[in-house]
Amino acid sequence: MTKEQTFSDEFLNAFVDNQLTAEEKSDAFVAISRDESLNRRVCELRKVRDLVQLACSNPPPPPTRSYTVHRSLWARIGFRSIAASILGLGMAIGWALHTTTPHHNPNSPRVSALTSPVPIKGIKVLLHLNSGDPQRMNDLLDEVENLLKFYKETNQVARVEVITNGGGINLLRADTSPNPARIKQLYRDWNNLVFIACQNTIDRLNHEQNINLVLLPEAVVIDSAVAQIMRRQLQGWAYIQV
Amino acid sequence: MKKLLAILIATVFTLGAGAVLADKYGKQKVIYHVNYKDPKRQGAAMRNIQNHINAVGKDNLDIRVIMHSGGYTLLTRANKDLAVQQKVSNLKDQGVTFNICANTLRGKKVDYKTQMFDVDEKDIVPSGVAEIAHLQDQGFSYIRP
């Protein structure tokens, strides 16, 4: 019996929805971490489930962006997806392990916080880049540095995520990045900064242009930039397009 | 007499419609993010803001135009070009706030007193991006035309 047969879609759906017994779940975790195709299937199911949840949650807009509103919102949609989020973390680890020599430790809080349902303290800023214009990329790096310095000088706890998709992914591609040395330096200097690339964009470039994309070691891959942007805004992050 | 009545009814309806519109939107707090130097796009942003004011009413709006990076050219152009100056002035008269990023002024070596139109010290924010993040936290919506 192959693994594909062992784990039916029904079983994986139950896994994604956190409806398995503890024992079944731990078996599934082990199998998924060993089998990449299984891992992909679960990821697909999770993505569909997350998008459905986001589409269905659609709450009336809160009068202000207070944290309590977002926390209760999270409570409504979030706990069901804890298992899925842990899985997402597993995906990230799996991905990091098979990319070349990552500088970052995928278990470090800065990477695991990407998909963790635990609310993040302090100021949270998501900078979105979807343009491949080198001038804008360099401006973005300036802005990131200025922003992090500002929060440090004013003693404010902050986390900044730079998320790239479409042409913006060029920022994090080993062959097109306008300034890999600076990205490396920023990543080393600031442990509250993350550079994210979108898996959908990577797949699309592969299908359409046959590009086997190699990312800078500082980059972390996430399933879908758009889904992450939606998640982050629901969680009360500030969203800024660069 | 009939004519007068018709005008009266029309007036009541118009006022009613205005009231309904204001009720529909209530008060709004909005960031307009300008970080590009393309004059056409900056012009379009100014038009968007005017249309926004027309729809919601200036008394219901707290609009902040946050300029950084290439966006600073909006006010250096306004310093030389009277048509641009007019547009900025009109928006300011309707309560729109224009904020410029200190990092940008330093980086581009711009003297706001001589090279930009009508910028006061209080209009300068330490970091444009941090200001946008802060305002979103205060319940401002984010628009980048």
**Residue range B80-102, pLDDT digits in tens:** 999 999 999 999 999 999 999 99
Per-residue model confidence (pLDDT) at position A101: 44
Q: Which of A124, A146, A151 sits opposite B103 (nearest CB)?
A: A146
Burial of A5 (0-12, 13-18, 19+ CB in 10 A): exposed
Instruction: List chain A residues with CB under 8 Å of B136.
Output: 65, 238-239
CB A200 within 8 A of CB A223: yes
Tell me the percentage of chain B whose pLDDT exceeds 70. Answer: 84
Per-residue model confidence (pLDDT) at position B37: 95
> A151 and B130: CB-CB below 8 Å?
yes
Give the pLDDT band (50/70/90) at residue A5.
very low
Separation of alpha carbons A188 and A190, rounded Å? 6
Return the number of other C-beta atoms located less than 10 Å from residue A43's C-beta. 20
Q: Which of B70, B103, B136 sits opposite A238 (nearest CB)?
A: B136
Give the pLDDT band (50/70/90) at residue B116.
very high
Tell me the percentage of chain A whose pLDDT exceeds 70. Answer: 57
List the single best residue of B28, B127, B143 to mutate versus A (max A Cβ within 10 A): B127
Closest-CA residue of B relative to A152 is B130
In a domain, B79, yes or no: yes
* Across A107-125, average pLDDT: 84
Separation of alpha carbons A24 and B125, rounded Å? 55
In a domain, B8, yes or no: no
For A6-241, CATH number out of 3.40.1260.10, 3.10.450.40, 3.40.50.720, 1.10.3720.10 equals: 3.40.1260.10
Per-residue model confidence (pLDDT) at position A74: 46
* Across A119-141, average pLDDT: 94
In a domain, B100, yes or no: yes
- Which residues neighbour A46 within 8 Å (Cβ) at sequence distance 6 or greater? A16, A84, A87, A88, A223
In a domain, B99, yes or no: yes
For residue B97, what are the domain limits?
A: 27-143
Q: Is A146 on the interface with B (CB under 8 A)?
A: yes
Reply yes or no on whether the pLDDT at A1 is more than 60. no
Q: Which of A139, A147, A242 sits opposite B130 (nearest CB)?
A: A147
Per-residue model confidence (pLDDT) at position B48: 97
Domain containing B117 — which CATH number?
A: 3.40.1260.10
End-to-end CA distance of chain B: 49
Reply yes or no on whether the pLDDT at A97 is more than 60. no
Q: Which of A142, A240, A241 sits opposite B133 (nearest CB)?
A: A240
- DSSP SS3 for A238: strand
Reported in sequence order, the residue ranges of chain B that DSSP labels E, i.e. its strands, are 28-34, 61-67, 97-101, 124-125, 141-143
In a domain, B6, yes or no: no
Instruction: List chain A residues with CB under 8 Å of B132.
Output: 238, 240
Give the pLDDT band (50/70/90) at residue B68.
very high
Instruction: List chain B residues with CB under 8 Å of A65.
Output: 136-139
Sign of CA dihedral A30, A26, A8, A221: negative
Closest-CA residue of B relative to A66 is B137
Burial of A17 (0-12, 13-18, 19+ CB in 10 A): middle
Domain boundaries defined on chain A: 6-241
Pick the residue with more confidence: B11 or A166?
A166
Reported in sequence order, the residue ranges of A47-192 that DSSP labels E, i.e. its strands, are 123-129, 158-164
Reply yes or no on whether the pLDDT at A54 is more than 60. no
Q: What are the structure tokens assigned to A192, written together?
A: 């509250």
Per-residue model confidence (pLDDT) at position A62: 40
Give the pLDDT band (50/70/90) at residue A71.
very low
Q: Which of A64, A238, A241 sits opposite B144 (nearest CB)?
A: A241
ipTM at complex level: 0.77
- The total number of structural domains that make up chain B: 1
> Nearest-CA distance from A11 to chain B in Å?
41
Whole-model pTM: value is 0.67
Q: Which range among A14-18, A39-43, B53-57 has the greatest average pLDDT?
A: B53-57
Reply yes or no on whether the pLDDT at A36 is more than 70. no
CB B65 within 8 A of CB B101: no
DSSP A173: B
Tell me the percentage of chain A whose pLDDT exceeds 90. Answer: 50
> B133 and A65: CB-CB below 8 Å?
no
> Nearest-CA distance from A128 to chain B in Å?
12
Mean pLDDT, chain A, whole residue set: 78
